[in-house]
Structure 1
Amino acid sequence: MSEPFEALQIPRSVESPIMKLLHFGMRPRLLVLFAMGLFSGGLFSGGQAVLGQVSESAGRSPESSPESSQEKGPRPMQIEDLFRYERYAEPQLSPDGKTVVYQTTRITDALKNTKSTNLHRFSLEDGTSSPVTASSKSDTHARFSPDGKRLLFESTRGGSPQLYILDSSVLGEARQLTSISTGASTGIWSPDGKQIAFVSTIRPEFSELPFAQSDAKNQEADEKAASSLVKAKVFTRLFYRHWDSYVEDKRQHIFVIQADGTECRDVTPGDRDAYPTSMTFSAGDDFCFTPDGRYLIITAVPAQGESWTTNYDLCRIDLSNPKSNWETLTKSNAAADCNPKFSPSGTQMAYKAQARPGYEADKWNLMVVDCKPDGTWTGEPKSWTSEIDRSVGEFSWTSDQSIAFVAEQDGATALFQA
């Protein structure tokens, strides 16, 4: 275990973006450049963490605007100052390593509590930045296709969140990929770029029907519930609420669609969540295609006793027969397992795991196991972080023999390499 970059300290707010850059093979030098101010005036300024770039167009009340104050010189920061900052997130490095696409969020009207999020492109060759989208809604979660020619992203420009595809080399109108009534999010590409997997929250009783029929029934049920004067909720199982949101009688399922927009299908039918319902067990894209593209590895919510167990498991889904039983890869561990990622060569899979069942705050270890291209394990998983007293945050393969990860250290977030 080593601490590269002389224990580079990373503010908590940028932990996720930095690791996502590494996931696409970012070299250490580029990582340091990003941390020290790759986006001028953005996440960092002169080595100091700031919220983002000042947006002069952010809506705010003239009476409460700092500019209208009679005070001169230094003054305490006010809430209106925060409204004026643009927030950067989700940087994604192109496969050729020349471009970063990231999202920028700004407050459009503070009094009306409205905001917009758009995608921008940053050139690592000449240091210029340019807009990729210009929506008044929300464009997020950009992902380059394996060949780098297309950009997949999620947008609410049409109302509900749907997936869109844009030619990454030129600016133009994005093509809407999904039109599912329950919305689509967290889209990822298959290794060959021919398929896309995404998450949608649906009613499980319709999930085994053909897609068009299932989607129509979900839409009908949602419209009926929205128009009903009765808003009381009836629950017959635990759990029914997680923190500030109701779980209700829906499940988060994973769908697969062809990149041309055809053959959309639910590949995790049934009354079980195929995607984490709690952020405690979520670390970004919590599912992935196997290297051969024939299976999905997902982070499945416990099949039984979800309200009192932490036994999230990694399961393998056969895309040629999605109605078959999910193959549990981590059945030997009664605690939580999540966040699968294959090595660049596809011969190993890394994931995070806890050791103490039922204990949400347990240390997260980084596990690695040898595997075949279809995700079948060929050995026993081994912990690469068992000897350090640190809980692994987000992580990324940097080579077949090395993984970079972030962990809390001395009140800050440090970057490590295993």
Structure 2
Amino acid sequence: PTTIWNASDYQSNSEYYQSLISPRNFDQSDNLRLDRLSSPQFHPTNGKSIIYLRRQYHMPDLRGSTTTLHWLDLETNTTVQLTRPIWGIHDQQFFWVDNNTILFLSNRASTDLRQIFQLTLPANVSQTADFIDPIQITNYPLNIDNLLVNRQASRLAFSCQVYPNLTIEETADRQMAEKASDRSIYQFDKLFIRHWDEYMTGRRHHPFLVQIARRSNGIFNFSSEPFDVLFSVDSDSPTRPFGDAKVQWSFSATGNSFAYTRQYDETSAVTWTTNLDIWTVNLSVPEHLSVCITCDNLATDTDPSYSPTDDSILVYRSHSIPGYESDQFKVKIYNSQPYYFHLVQ
């Protein structure tokens, strides 16, 4: 059983080991108790501090874990735990958008679903005596699985698992209706039926694009309706099973263009092709049409990354042999003004 959170029940890894009296040999249980630190990001302007994620486990029985945000001053080595540790609660995929604002995903919502939260840092973080309570930005009836914020903090992209041609709310309604019917029968008319450890039951990871703005109270909110980039498309972005928005999505330097990787799940051919393509969306025009920039190559094209200074330049990784998963990746440069490809040797 999972341990229920109790403030008096919390003990850090270091506190647990400092409380031990007798020495003993290091074993596998000690390895499991180690904290997991990940995803460090430098301060966006001065680089003198970092924020990182720390996953820690219930001591000493490992019945539960929690992931929290931490701040580290690189000059004084002062560390501050920013978010409250709660067993079963995990903060993830954060973006330090300006001096004192963090946007991140967490299942801290009352619904236990992953949503977008904002953390506002005080002027002097090192003097923080207690945890900072984050503000919930979204309240969707589905989990948000991926998050990407542009450099200007004027737009963000997030993903939800939705049915093609259905909105987030309509997908949630359909799930509730299916659950209420007690029906667990699926009819498959194409492959995949099961991919790795997951049955393909209809929902897809779709990227949603939305404009954001800071209100007078300093809290960000959505200033436009989220747009489902793949609304009618039976496909995933990020791709399954290992796709990651941080490498398969990219905003351009001005934030006015968005690039993403997707595969072709619409037919059973997805089971024997390695073809992935990169598509771009011009966000400065109302149509938001996706344009494929790599469709001439029937092998893998993935991991787009816009130039930090030029919206017309995009770098990505590419295979040249269709159907060959072990083909060597090469770095290519796409320039839309003028149109050309360049292979980086």
TM-score band by shorter chain is 0.7 to 0.9
Q: 1:175 aligns with which of 114, 130, 135?
A: 135
Q: Secondary structure at the match of 2:309?
A: coil
Kindly indicate whether residue 236 of structure 2 is the aligned counterpart of residue 287 of structure 1: no
C-alpha distance 317-274 of structure 1, shift in aligned 2 (>3 A): farther
Q: Secondary structure at the match of 1:284?
A: helix
Match for 1:143: what amino acid? F
Deviation at 1:285, TM superposition (A): 3.7
Give the gaps of 5 or more residues in structure 1. 1-52, 59-66, 207-213, 371-375, 387-418
Question: Aligned runs of 1:1-400 on 2, under 5 Å?
Answer: 54-56=13-15, 74=25, 77-78=27-28, 80-96=29-45, 97-108=47-58, 113-136=63-86, 137-145=89-97, 147-158=98-109, 159-169=112-122, 172-206=132-166, 214-259=167-212, 260-262=220-222, 263-268=224-229, 269-279=231-241, 282=244, 284-302=246-264, 304=267, 305-319=269-283, 325-346=289-310, 348-370=313-335, 376=336, 378-384=338-344, 386=345
TM-score normalized with structure 1 length = 0.66
Q: Take 2:338 and 2:61, find their aligned partners in 1: how far apart are those partners?
A: 57
C-alpha distance 357-191 of structure 1, shift in aligned 2 (>3 A): same
Aligned residues: 308
C-alpha distance 110-54 of structure 1, shift in aligned 2 (>3 A): closer
Q: Take 1:195 and 1:358, find their aligned partners in 2: how far apart are those partners?
A: 36
Higher relative contact order (CA 8 A, sep 6+): 1
Q: Take 2:62 and 2:188, find their aligned partners in 1: how far apart are those partners?
A: 34
C-alpha distance 135-321 of structure 1, shift in aligned 2 (>3 A): farther
Q: Is the 8 A contact 1:267 1:322 kept in 2?
A: no
C-alpha distance 270-148 of structure 1, shift in aligned 2 (>3 A): farther
Q: Take 1:283 and 1:361, find their aligned partners in 2: how far apart are those partners?
A: 22
Q: Take 1:234 and 1:108, find their aligned partners in 2: how far apart are those partners?
A: 42
TM-score normalized with structure 2 length = 0.79
Q: Take 1:55 and 1:257, find their aligned partners in 2: how far apart are those partners?
A: 42
Q: Take 2:278 and 2:38, find their aligned partners in 1: how far apart are those partners?
A: 27
Q: Is the 8 A contact 2:42 2:49 kept in 1?
A: yes
| 1:58-110: CA deviation from partner (whole Å, max 9, x where unpaired) | 9xxxxxxxx79x9x7646x22x1123100011111222212211101112268
Q: Secondary structure at the match of 1:332?
A: coil
Q: Is the 8 A contact 2:16 2:60 kept in 1?
A: no
Q: Take 2:185 and 2:177, find their aligned partners in 1: how far apart are those partners?
A: 14
C-alpha distance 124-383 of structure 1, shift in aligned 2 (>3 A): farther
- What's the % identity of the aligned pairs? 23
Q: Take 1:322 and 1:328, find their aligned partners in 2: how far apart are those partners?
A: 18
| 1:107-149: CA deviation from partner (whole Å, max 9, x where unpaired) | 226867421100111122222211121141001111111x343
Compare 165-174 and 218-227 and name the one that shifted more.
165-174
Q: Take 1:283 and 1:362, find their aligned partners in 2: how far apart are those partners?
A: 23
Q: Is the 8 A contact 1:83 1:110 kept in 2?
A: no
Match for 1:265: what amino acid? P
C-alpha distance 283-115 of structure 1, shift in aligned 2 (>3 A): same
C-alpha distance 224-240 of structure 1, shift in aligned 2 (>3 A): same
Q: Take 2:242 and 2:330, find their aligned partners in 1: how far apart are those partners?
A: 14
Q: Take 2:191 and 2:81, find their aligned partners in 1: how far apart are those partners?
A: 45
RMSD of equivalent CA atoms? 2.8
Give the gaps of 5 or more residues in structure 2. 1-11, 213-219
Deviation at 1:223, TM superposition (A): 1.7
Compare 259-268 and 241-250 and name the one that shifted more.
259-268
Q: Is the 8 A contact 1:118 1:135 kept in 2?
A: yes
Match for 1:289: what amino acid? F
Q: Is the 8 A contact 2:33 2:59 kept in 1?
A: no
